[in-house]
């Protein structure tokens, strides 16, 4: 779970510095600031920018005094990748921050862009640590904290079973915890996790995802229908599909190396590196993007955004399978 590293605990502090490489925690740091700003002013203007969108002079335009004194949140992602000229702009702004504006800098925390990191800390930034979870014990602690945050109890065996089933992706773990809390009353135990995540071993949500990312549409659809008939929650299937496609995207963009080295770099177990290497044949960056969009649409559909969750899942499975052979 993200931890604050200084005594400032006000999300509306002039500057929040989120440091680390864990996407879920970085997103949550941003969401906390935005939620606080909109609680103070429902009309808060939020600008969420990548380095290529923040050119020299852009920050000055965004933070210039407004005739209506509107509250604004300016989010700068991957601040370590900003150009030298833009970093000068940010440092100059830190010396005299504007009223009613909250600046959020997301920084990987490494040596790259360290001058900006140091300047933000010197300016008294509210800092939120968002480190990658690299150890099983850390992921187990994360799952426990998610259940506590949602006001529910889960047995140690249930938490461990969830980590064993989902793996190292915190976003997927958080989604699974939220789904269990929404669907299950009382204490969540290992048997409940087993029902959700195994259903029937040969037709689990992960089997659906594996067949889809391998381009085997017919087998994926057969596994999907059996999973649904045995009670596997639709949201767990979209979660598994997203995890499978993201794994291919991560590995395809990583440098070659031994499975053990890649496992450390990408946060996957070595055995999964070998599996994903076999599955990624035929995939292209365009195919990954297409598949991720399809899974996102299906996820929205099964969570109430559509009339037929089963159709939404079938459409996503077919699209992912086709994307696996995208040329």
First to last CA, the chain: 40
Q: What is the pLDDT of residue 306?
A: 67
Binned at pLDDT 50, 70 and 90, residue 90 comes out as very high
Confidence band for 157, pLDDT divided at 50, 70 and 90: confident
Phi, psi of 23 (to 5 degrees): -55, -45
Q: What's the pLDDT score for residue 165? A: 75
DSSP reduced 3-state for 254: coil
Nearest Cα residue to 314 out of 233, 234, 240, 251: 234
Mean pLDDT of 303-314: 83
Q: What phi-psi label fits residue 231: left (phi over 0), alpha (psi between -120 and 50 degrees) or beta?
A: left
Which of 98-112, 241-255, 259-273, 295-309 is predicted least confidently? 259-273
Its pTM stands at 0.59
Q: What is the pLDDT of residue 93?
A: 95
- Rounded to 10 degrees, what is the CA torsion of 182, 230, 324, 132? 40
Q: What mean pLDDT is predicted for residues 177-194? A: 88
pLDDT per residue as tens digits for the range 42-88:
989 999 998 989 999 999 999 887 656 678 999 999 999 999 999 99
Return the pLDDT at 3: 45
State the Cα–Cα distance between residues 200 and 84, nearest whole angstrom: 55
* pLDDT per residue as tens digits for the range 109-125: 989 999 999 999 999 99
Q: Give residue 268's pLDDT.
A: 66
Close Cβ partners of 119 (under 8 Å, ≥ 6 residues apart) = 90, 91, 94
pLDDT bucket at 204, cuts 50 / 70 / 90:
low
* Contact assessment for residue 234 and residue 316, using Cβ atoms and an 8 Å cutoff: no
């Amino acid at each position: 779970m993200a931890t604050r590293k200084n005594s400032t605990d006000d999300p509306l502090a002039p500057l929040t510095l989120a440091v680390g490489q864990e996407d879920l925690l970085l997103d949550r740091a941003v969401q906390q600031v935005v939620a606080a700003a909109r609680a103070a002013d429902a009309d808060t203007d939020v600008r969420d920018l990548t380095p290529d969108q923040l050119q020299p002079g852009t920050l000055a335009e965004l933070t210039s005094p407004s005739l209506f004194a509107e509250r604004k949140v300016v989010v700068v992602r991957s601040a370590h990748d900003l150009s030298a000229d833009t970093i000068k702009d940010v440092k100059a702004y830190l010396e005299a921050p504007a009223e009613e504006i909250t600046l959020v800098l997301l920084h990987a925390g490494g040596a790259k862009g360290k001058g900006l990191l140091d300047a933000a800390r010197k300016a008294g930034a509210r800092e939120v640590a968002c480190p990658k979870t690299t150890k099983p014990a850390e992921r187990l602690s994360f799952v426990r904290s998610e259940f506590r945050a949602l006001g529910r109890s889960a047995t140690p065996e249930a938490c461990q079973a969830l980590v064993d089933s989902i793996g190292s992706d915190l976003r997927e773990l958080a989604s699974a915890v939220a789904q269990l809390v929404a669907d299950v009353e009382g204490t969540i135990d290992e048997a409940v996790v087993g029902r959700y995540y195994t259903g029937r071993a040969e037709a689990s949500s992960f089997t659906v995802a594996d067949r889809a990312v391998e381009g085997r549409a017919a087998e994926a659809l057969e596994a999907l229908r059996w999973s649904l008939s045995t009670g596997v929650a639709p949201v767990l299937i979209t979660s598994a599909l997203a995890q499978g496609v993201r794994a291919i995207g991560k590995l395809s963009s990583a440098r070659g190396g031994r499975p053990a080295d890649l496992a450390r770099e990408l946060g996957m177990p070595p055995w999964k590196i070998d599996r994903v290497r076999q599955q990624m044949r035929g995939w292209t960056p365009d195919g990954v993007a297409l598949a991720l969009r399809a899974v996102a649409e299906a996820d929205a559909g099964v969570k109430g955004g559509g009339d037929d969750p089963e159709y939404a899942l079938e459409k996503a499975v077919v699209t992912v399978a086709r994307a696996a052979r995208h040329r």
